[in-house]
Structure 1
């Protein structure tokens, strides 16, 4: 029995949601027949994103986009999901035409199998199974959001397969996609004995063990209120124990200790005073349209969507579906393993964030002056400072593309709608803003993203640069050991 057939019944939760059977026996057309309200259909159709280049990039846009990806949690969980989905697509296509080594052995599909049907089935099978394996929605709103994600996935699948029964080519492609996804799912899930799936790779307990280090100079702590004003509790400590996709362990590319760990040093004082001055919410709020303020908001407001950045870069480079599938599989494996590596380092060093450091009454360094009212421009993430998570992911994605395209000079321009930026009184919150940034190279984007976290007031510079280095190293390993051309 396929893993997905064990899983789907709990994706939608009655009475508000729609009861479903296995999507291997209940097609997306049947789902719409059961829940064909104008709102449901509109939500599903609006969630199917416009075409970028081919079925691989179109499905990548849906899987990594705002309707589906956030259902799985934070960046760490999303990176794992996208690795599983992208590898499923890659292996499905290579079961039809074997051009690259697959992640796991796959049976050969008939030569007439539809590649687009294989891509659709791999995405749908993997995504619905993983949605179903999530804990029950914590709120009714999240239950509705998951239901909309299912509708969007099924609507995209319907659009790919078309009306009526699949023809022989489509049926062979569907079988190839389902088989590849089931193989990937079996590596990380098991039948829980109740008709559902349970993760077996450590991802089911992201916040265990709980963080418990007492307050001390240099030690990470829950961010103090009133930051936004809620306290941010340290999270994701358990992500260090998730099974990597390619690297040998979370410690393989361990970052060396930072010089800023010596809190009484001149190096620490320099970085402390830099983030204190340029990452202050009062400074950034008084200069809302300055480049530093825009850079901070751009990267936090959507620029860190590296699947989207890859699509922009790849779209005009003449890649076919197999090449795109390999690119996204390599990028997302690198992102997932970089996230695991990063959390392992963060919770080994447990170095404090600027908001804790700057509000600390006396750290013993004569060149750091505390400020009990200081607040970062953007909200501090819920884990220690060193190394930076976002730059680790940026370094992984950028280095993968450098290796794939054999060039750093990959230009791209992106516009994001940065959300409202809350500011302390008497300043007025910054409204939603469309921000466009252009980059002549990947290294330019990397360096700007590193500074964005300092402008945001949420990182010391050294941790940002250490993250880039670690991400680059993970990507080099993944590229050198996975999905090689035959």
Structure 2
């Protein structure tokens, strides 16, 4: 059995059905990453949350109707929306019932088929926990009702159009071979291979080496969800020359392992590095889970106090529920598309990470080089990064198994928080400056630093509560942000302090550096060159944005401006389903 540490958040959130099923999705995220289950990694975990919330959104609004209180249309094209069963009343009770059916359908579809690569015990545990979460929903679920069947039908339409199909590569890497040579992503020297069980049910059969590269084909084969300009979300090549040298020098000091003499990272920077990590960690999961957790805090702080989820006839309750459904669908669809387009760029450029770049900065590291008299300035063949933490295990930190540029964290975080900024400004609950700061402040305790998560002294025991397992406990830190704009900044910057990203992986640092050569305050930063609708296909590469933040901002802006309707690719299913 898997003992999940409790989630700490304000009571009452899950009384709203949409927030309960969001909670289930987030729990399945950390469960699957703890048991090596399906839909793992940043791309697929973002996609399943996008599918979950998009299915709930369309089931809910197809029942409640687009004319009530200005509710938006469905993502599905009007002609494709399943007709309501005869006699179905357009009530919040029925809308929630259809939404619940859609949620269960997606959860079962995405997590019900378990890979043979995990043990029988893990398979049984995943199934038990999934059913336990579904059974934990308070209201009665009438699976025989017409409105429930309607929700199932809507979810299946969404899954048919957007779920990864059997035989498609998804995040798999079969057939991919990384390139060799200077600047190219490849196996990191600290952990070039992982040892995995030959037979997960028979440990006595031993281990075998495995190389893992996450999602090399995902960006070019996964269907977009809601962007209207797929060709427009591209990036300029990462900068070379003086900017590359400056980025190398910075991460060498700010991102190094604690015991290295040249590591200059301050305690607050180390806190930020770990705070935003969520690198598929045991009992924690991936970044899309973290951004949803923060969104829950912000949305709850801005809820209408007149709404009461126990009284579904109140106008305030209907309006508040609709806001939650719309917000979480927009944010999770934006993150799903952020994963697709960030990974398309990652494997278009295939840039190495700092661990390889710093260790091999001297050209003599190339096998065919004639050699150098001394190691080049900036090179450090023995450098180690702080690294992405393998929290709640006894394993060493690691470098994510995919190229550096652009940063996935920067792209996911910017997409999610920009959607939230646009949404709350639109409903009159926030003041937001376009491409600037806002007044959406929040405080949040990351599960990386909650006073429970730890670096274990021995292997993790799933049969024992984490609090009963020996190891170095991470200090409880509650971090407060004055705005979502500042959160976008720190989330992106945190990856430099882990030593797993270059600064240009996040954004163009000409936007962030003041005239005195130091970094501006987050509220003073304006990100340049964010997506422009229908940018010419032949635009000069140098005129495109740099880094994950403008990429994520642009994806969010695109989806927001279009109203989150089915992408152009969805009108051409024979093309949308094709892949190379």
Q: TM-score range by the shorter chain?
A: 0.7 to 0.9
Q: Measure, in 2, the Cα distance between the counterparts of 1:131 and 1:229.
A: 25
Ranges in structure 2 where 5+ consecutive residues have no aligned partner? 66-70, 196-209, 279-283, 305-318, 365-374, 389-397, 426-431, 433-437, 458-470, 508-546, 566-580
Do the aligned residues in 2 keep the contact of 1:338 with 1:474 (CA within 8 Å)?
yes
Do the aligned residues in 2 keep the contact of 1:208 with 1:237 (CA within 8 Å)?
no
CA distance 1:62–1:69, change in 2 (3 Å):
farther
Q: Measure, in 2, the Cα distance between the counterparts of 1:357 and 1:368.
A: 10
Q: Which residue of 2 aligns with 1:482?
A: 563
Equivalent in 391, 399, 403 of residue 380 of structure 1: 399
Whether 2:127 is the aligned partner of 1:150: answer no
Equivalent in 86, 101, 107 of residue 53 of structure 2: 86
Equivalent in 139, 144, 149 of residue 160 of structure 1: 139
Whether 2:249 is the aligned partner of 1:273: answer yes
1:134-213 correspondence to structure 2 within 5 Å: 134-157=114-137, 159-161=138-140, 171-188=145-162, 199=165, 202=168, 204=170, 206-213=172-179
CA distance 1:373–1:68, change in 2 (3 Å):
closer
1:431-470 correspondence to structure 2 within 5 Å: 431-465=473-507, 466-470=547-551
Q: Which residue of 2 aligns with 1:409?
A: 439
Equivalent in 83, 94, 105 of residue 107 of structure 1: 83
Do the aligned residues in 2 keep the contact of 1:412 with 1:438 (CA within 8 Å)?
yes
Q: Measure, in 1, the Cα distance between the counterparts of 2:194 and 2:108.
A: 36
CA distance 1:56–1:307, change in 2 (3 Å):
same
- State how many pairs are aligned: 420
Query: How far does residue 375 in structure 1 lie from its aligned partner after superposition?
Result: 3.2
CA distance 1:432–1:344, change in 2 (3 Å):
same
SS in 2 for 1:434: coil
Query: How far does residue 226 in structure 1 lie from its aligned partner after superposition?
Result: 5.2
Query: Going by fraction, where is helix more abundant, 1 or 2?
Result: 1
Which range is displaced more, 218-227 or 338-347? 218-227
SS in 2 for 1:401: helix
Q: Measure, in 2, the Cα distance between the counterparts of 1:284 and 1:310.
A: 37
Equivalent in 410, 416, 433 of residue 391 of structure 1: 410
Deviations 1:288-312, CA, capped at 9 Å, x for gaps: 9811111111101469311111111
CA distance 1:414–1:335, change in 2 (3 Å):
same
Q: Measure, in 1, the Cα distance between the counterparts of 2:419 and 2:500.
A: 26
RMSD: 3.4
Q: Measure, in 2, the Cα distance between the counterparts of 1:376 and 1:354.
A: 11
CA distance 1:186–1:201, change in 2 (3 Å):
farther
Q: Which residue of 1 aligns with 2:185?
A: 220
Q: Which residue of 2 aligns with 1:23?
A: none
Q: Which residue of 1 aligns with 2:267?
A: 290
Query: How far does residue 131 in structure 1 lie from its aligned partner after superposition?
Result: 1.7
Q: Measure, in 2, the Cα distance between the counterparts of 1:401 and 1:415.
A: 19
SS in 1 for 2:136: helix
Q: Measure, in 2, the Cα distance between the counterparts of 1:381 and 1:391.
A: 14
Q: Measure, in 2, the Cα distance between the counterparts of 1:412 and 1:237.
A: 35
SS in 1 for 2:276: helix
Query: How far does residue 95 in structure 1 lie from its aligned partner after superposition?
Result: 1.7
Deviations 1:221-274, CA, capped at 9 Å, x for gaps: 111125899897432102111111012575430111121xx2xx2221111011
Deviations 1:454-485, CA, capped at 9 Å, x for gaps: 1101001011121011000001111111348x
Do the aligned residues in 2 keep the contact of 1:126 with 1:181 (CA within 8 Å)?
yes
1:314-353 correspondence to structure 2 within 5 Å: 314-317=299-302, 318=304, 320-353=320-353
Ranges in structure 1 where 5+ consecutive residues have no aligned partner? 1-38, 190-197, 424-428
